[in-house]
Amino acid sequence: MTQTHPITAARNGGQILIQQLRNHGARRIFLVPGESYLPCIDALNEHQDAIQAVVCRQESGAAYMAEAHGKLTGAPGICFVTRGPGATNASIGVHTAFQDSTPMILFVGQVGNGFYEREAFQEIDYRRMFGQMAKWVAQIDRTDRIPEFIARAFSVATSGRPGPVVLALPEDTLWGTAQVADLPSYTRVLTRPGTADLDALRERLEAAHSPFLLVGGSGWTSEALAQVRGFAERFDLPVGVSWRRLECFDQRHPNFAGHVGWGMHEGLRQRMRSVDLLLTLGARLGEATTEGYSVVESPRPRQQLVHVYADPNELGRVFQPTQAICASNVGMAEGLATLSPSRIPTWGAHTRAANAAYRATLAPLPSPSAMSLDQAACHVNTVLPAEACITVGAGNYALYPHRYRQFNGIGSSLAPTVGSMGYGLPAAIAAKLEDPQRPVVCYAGDGCFQMNLQELGVAMQYRLGIVVLVFNNGMWGTIRAHQEREFPDRTIALTFDNPDFAHLVGAYRGHGEVVSDNTQFEAAFARALAFAERERLPALIEIRYDADGIAPGETLSAIRASAQQLQRERAAAV
């Protein structure tokens, strides 16, 4: 029977567009208002019962929030920004969504078609601007085609390898009127492995001596992760999670082996190099996960590689796999749920050793000062409930929660695989909006935090009780470490004076404290959690510590000394 969708009364483009978003299940829009898309803003009046409009302070924060929403829900995060400067500010969120494979739709106001190609006020060609950082970039030039473009945007953002879509909205399209049919909600397309794929995989597993399961990517559901966990248990496989996909496996599970990628412990690094079969599920195996394509070599890995990915264009692109399976994470999980070994796996000792090595890394490493970031991160892991969410941006400070927090499922971690700064606070806001009962803690470096600290205004306005830990060492720490390695004892242009962060959060009606040793941290963290829950406002702890302690188990002084010794050896060899 043919489904029909009646033509409605004439509406302007903004009314048509917002109705389509509602039809496709959008529940929240992150925006910085602009005159270029006023009809859309006005149309939100009729949808306040279904769509929450979150007014952000800067477009990069809005885009980050939309990206984090996409990670949390698997549905496209929706962001609206104005033309020109608004779009350029939001581009960092689009780039993050692209490299993180996150479904997202960015709507950008545009000059009217009558002014196009004249370099009108704030005019940019968005197809050229976003072409290499989005799955699809288009401009809706006709009001009556808005439903078609919106439906396609949702499908493209969620199909295959998920990612961002950018749609430009000329003013005459939004102010124009049309009588047009609304379209029903999109359906996410899932691809599944064939019987032959699964049979071949089981044969390879049972012929292996030291297999390893690496889980990553996006588009997971709780049910799919549970199916993967059951598969790992039946085959007694050691399991790692790819770079910054910490939520993809329960890290308290006896089969968990660790976080694979930059900063992994040496035992896991050697284990990854020595396994004879690497089953990679959902991860692209990028530079970060493979540590510069060294742990898994390109183009031909030393391990047998079974690569499962939703986009056929990624299979064989960088690595030539032993077996390639084109399947979505959810579809592959359904297939793995049907597999059981024909005999007891022989690599149980390998799995137990991998887990024991991982658990050994949870003991705090020595610190050069009274304020041990290792001990603080261990304390956070101990006292936070399992369902809590931890967000980070980019910087060496993020290595502490990544090492010591035991994540366990969707929403427990929000971390940009693209390594973009300023992400943690907007992501924490998105997490708290999505689940107000879930404790949310943002880890942020002093530089990282200042890239989007104005979004504290969103937490204040919407009464979001998040906790922010600001790691204050007065410098761009990660770059300082790189500089010491390459140009030891010649640091320049890396330090800065900071505001009093504890007082700053008070301007947003929040709670702030400063700690400088571990005897202060535990009580301060308890007060911050209690304030955030009770007052539904942000709490912030500024952690002042010795800048020499640059990463777990590493100091700048040791990095400098090692680099200087290497320079002397090279000079002597000439």
Query: Helix (H, G, I), strand (E, B), or coil: what is residue 285?
Result: coil
CA angle at 253 for the pair 247 and 259, rounded to the nearest 5°? 45
Beta strand pairing call for 277-281 and 77-81? unpaired
Per CATH, the homologous superfamily of domain 195-360 is: TPP-binding domain (3.40.50.1220)
Q: Are 225 and 385 in contact (CB under 8 A)?
A: no
Q: Are 521 and 543 in contact (CB under 8 A)?
A: yes
Q: What percent of the chain has pLDDT over 90?
A: 92
Question: What gap in Å lies between CA 32 and CA 338, rounded to an integer?
Answer: 47
pLDDT surpasses 90 at 191: yes
What does the pLDDT look like over 386-412, one tens digit per residue? 999 999 999 999 999 999 999 999 999
What is the pTM assigned to this prediction? 0.95
Q: Which of 358, 410, 495 is nearest to 68 (CA)?
A: 410
The pLDDT, as a whole number, for residue 128 is 87
Do the domains spanning 11-178 and 373-560 agree at the CATH topology level?
yes
Output the CA torsion sign for 496, 500, 502, 503. negative
Q: Are 140 and 167 in contact (CB under 8 A)?
A: yes
Residue 440: DSSP 8-state: E
What does the pLDDT look like over 103-126, one tens digit per residue? 999 999 987 677 667 666 667 888
CA angle at 387 for the pair 382 and 392, rounded to the nearest 5°? 75
Q: How many residues does the chain have?
A: 574
The pLDDT, as a whole number, for residue 121 is 64
The pLDDT, as a whole number, for residue 544 is 96
What does the pLDDT look like over 212-235, one tens digit per residue? 999 999 999 999 999 999 999 999
pLDDT surpasses 60 at 287: yes
User: Which CATH number describes the domain made up of 373-560?
Assistant: 3.40.50.970
Per CATH, the homologous superfamily of domain 11-178 is: Thiamin diphosphate (ThDP)-binding fold, Pyr/PP domains (3.40.50.970)
Question: What gap in Å lies between CA 186 and CA 168, rounded to an integer?
Answer: 20
Structure tokens at 266: 């040496």
Beta strand pairing call for 304-309 and 277-281? parallel
Q: Are 438 and 388 in contact (CB under 8 A)?
A: yes
Q: Which of 409, 396, 429 is nearest to 245 (CA)?
A: 409
For the chain, what are the domain ranges? 11-178, 195-360, 373-560
